[in-house]
Amino acid sequence: MRLVLVLGDQLSPNLSALRTANKATDVIIMAEALGEANYVRHHPKKIALIFAAMRKFAAQLRGEGWQVRYSKLDDEDAPQTLNEALLQGAEAVGATEVICTEAGEWRVIDALAELPLTVTTLSDDRFLSSHQEFESWAEGRKQLRMEYFYRDMRRKTGLLMEGDQPAGGQWNYDHDNRKAPPKSLDFEGPFRFEPDAVVREVLDLVAKRFGENFGTLEPFWFATDALQAQAHFDHWIATGLAGFGDYQDAMLLGQPHLYHAHIGMYLNIGLLDPLEVCQAVEKAWIEGFAPLNAVEGFIRQVIGWREYIRGIYFLQGRDYTTRNDLGHTRDLPASFWGQKTWMACIEAAVGQTQEEAYAHHIQRLMVTGNFALLAGVDPHQVHEWYLAVYADAFEWVEAPNVIGMSQFADGGIVASKPYVSSGNYIDKMSNYCKSCSYKVKQKTGPDACPFNLLYWHFLDRHSEKFRANPRMGNMYRVWDRMDEDRRAQVLLDADNWLAKLDAGEVV
């Protein structure tokens, strides 16, 4: 008899550990371990999603004839860690061997290695690229750019391919996906589910145990099983996909979802299959229901970016989350935890995160991430914040997006340049600036948009590192051409603003 460990982000019937196990003799272990729920202060909605989905998946497995030992967080003898759950299970059934599918975080992988049991770890083949495939692709390359990996994934899967050429003659339609926000939406948003008895029990538990965590628990409308997740996705294909491409970078007050699919959390816990969702989106294009730029943009995020980011996480190893190439040490601002700020864009992105456990990629990259990078916030604190507050955040996907793409803390492994901008970009891609206390067109003085001040402050203090970067040369030439007195004023105003931030003032 063996134990079969199924983690909270492995809720897939075709999991490699389940395929290898023997239904007649092996025992599945699933546990709502407190150590997994509080290693960072996760958003209550995130905890509720995972616990509810775990309970439903355990019931599904039992219905299929599996023996399942399931530990609820509020059980009298509830294990505090995954290892404790496995040791309890081993003692109860007399097992000495564990089968598991590889975890998506080094933290869990290393903990399981300490078990005094025989642990057989199988690859997580729900992903389209294995560690070995990614390592082979990366070997010998001076730069690990996603675009070239993505093209190989298109060839491998056959998605949007016409023979050996990309559909429409282009690999990437990102240039067509940067329209400013629309004046109105014809998409009603994601499919919403009323909590059933299982979900309601979990919500009550989470409210009691994690009610003080950052984030609003209810209303809770997430899908919590594969059928619901599929219904949500089908609804988006029918009503949201056509507008996704054009407006995927746009931001609007009061519209947290716009045309986004909002399926990251369902993919990442195993309720949806990445290849199947891409095939469904491709089919919508083939049948004329969605434009190519929308379909390609979606597929690139799933088989390109998602697979590439996972490859980076495992390739770079255990110390990746400690990287700090720019030497940033400022503490995370209180505004990221919902305290008052005069910056409308930060207030909108953080407020939405607090309510929904969600923000789309541009809000994460070009609002909160951009601000943290410009202000010189410690990237590990930024990493832990993103890991805590978003329902789709697991370290394999979150850390490279934050440490690499957002904060440039890995020195350029993921990004070819820092993703920084002044307030002009946010003004172009959103309506946030219209209601802001600061003035986005003002470049100096107490009313100037902080992004305008901090942008030049960032370039100036990191001039030695980035001046030779070919993608940043133009901006340094603009800075150099500025009147010396104006440059001095910008830097002084930025220093004064940062001093107020450090002093805990509302800024």
Asked, as a colleague might, if the bond just before 446 is cis with ω within 30 of 0, I would say no
Would you say 239 and 170 are in contact if contact means Cβ atoms under 8 Å apart? Answer: no
- Domains in the chain, number: 3
Q: What is the total residue count of the chain?
A: 507
Residues 6+ apart with CB under 8 A from 91: none
Q: Is residue 217 domain-resident?
A: no
CATH code of the domain containing 283: 1.25.40.80
Give the pLDDT confidence score for residue 489 in this predicted structure.
98
Give the pLDDT confidence score for residue 178 in this predicted structure.
85
Residues 489 and 409 placed together within one structural domain of the fold: yes
Residues 255 and 110 placed together within one structural domain of the fold: no
Q: Is residue 394 domain-resident?
A: yes
Would you say 398 and 320 are in contact if contact means Cβ atoms under 8 Å apart? Answer: no
CA–CA dist 207, 219 (Å, integer): 12
Residues 376 and 445 placed together within one structural domain of the fold: yes
Residues 439 and 460 placed together within one structural domain of the fold: yes
CATH code of the domain containing 375: 1.10.579.10
CA–CA dist 8, 3 (Å, integer): 16
Give the pLDDT confidence score for residue 176 in this predicted structure.
83
Residues 117 and 135 placed together within one structural domain of the fold: no
Torsion 396-400-401-407 (CA) sign: positive
| Mean per-residue pLDDT pooled into runs of 10, the chain (507 residues) | 97 98 97 97 98 98 98 96 98 97 98 97 98 97 95 98 96 89 86 98 98 98 98 97 94 94 98 98 98 97 98 98 98 98 98 98 97 98 98 98 98 97 97 97 97 98 96 96 97 98 97
Domain limits for position 412:
334-502
The DSSP-derived string for 173-234 is -GGGS-PPPPSS-----S------HHHHHHHHHHHHHHTTSSS---S-----SHHHHHHHHH
CA–CA dist 489, 380 (Å, integer): 31
Using the 3D structure, point to which of 253, 281, 315 is the last residue of a domain. 315
Residues 95 and 118 placed together within one structural domain of the fold: yes
Q: Is residue 97 domain-resident?
A: yes
Give the pLDDT confidence score for residue 185 in this predicted structure.
84
CA–CA dist 464, 487 (Å, integer): 17
CA–CA dist 473, 479 (Å, integer): 10
Residues 6+ apart with CB under 8 A from 299: 154, 159, 160, 278, 281, 282
Residues 297 and 403 placed together within one structural domain of the fold: no
Q: Is residue 26 domain-resident?
A: yes
Would you say 419 and 405 are in contact if contact means Cβ atoms under 8 Å apart? Answer: yes
Half-sphere exposure of 277 (CA within 13 A, CB side): 32
CATH code of the domain containing 26: 3.40.50.620
Residues 89 and 173 placed together within one structural domain of the fold: no
Using the 3D structure, point to which of 98, 122, 146 is the last residue of a domain. 122
Q: Give whole-number Cα distances, 57 to 28, 224, 337, 396, in Å.
A: 11, 9, 33, 22
Burial class (CB within 10 angstroms; exposed 0-12, middle 13-18, buried 19+) of 446 = exposed
Q: Is residue 291 domain-resident?
A: yes
Residues 254 and 396 placed together within one structural domain of the fold: no
CA–CA dist 322, 403 (Å, integer): 8
Which of 327, 312, 308, 441 shows the shortest CA–CA distance to 377?
327
Give the pLDDT confidence score for residue 174 in this predicted structure.
87
Is beta strand 27-31 parallel, antiparallel or unpaired with respect to 3-5? Answer: parallel
Give the pLDDT confidence score for residue 183 in this predicted structure.
82
The secondary element (H helix, E strand) that includes residue 284 is helix 274-286
Residues 178 and 261 placed together within one structural domain of the fold: yes
Residue showing tokens 């440059």: 487
Give the pLDDT confidence score for residue 184 in this predicted structure.
81
Residues 342 and 485 placed together within one structural domain of the fold: yes
Residues 338 and 280 placed together within one structural domain of the fold: no
CA–CA dist 421, 345 (Å, integer): 13
Q: Which two tokens stand for residue 144?
A: 């690990």
Give the pLDDT confidence score for residue 158 in this predicted structure.
98
Which of 305, 278, 307, 271 shows the shortest CA–CA distance to 131?
307
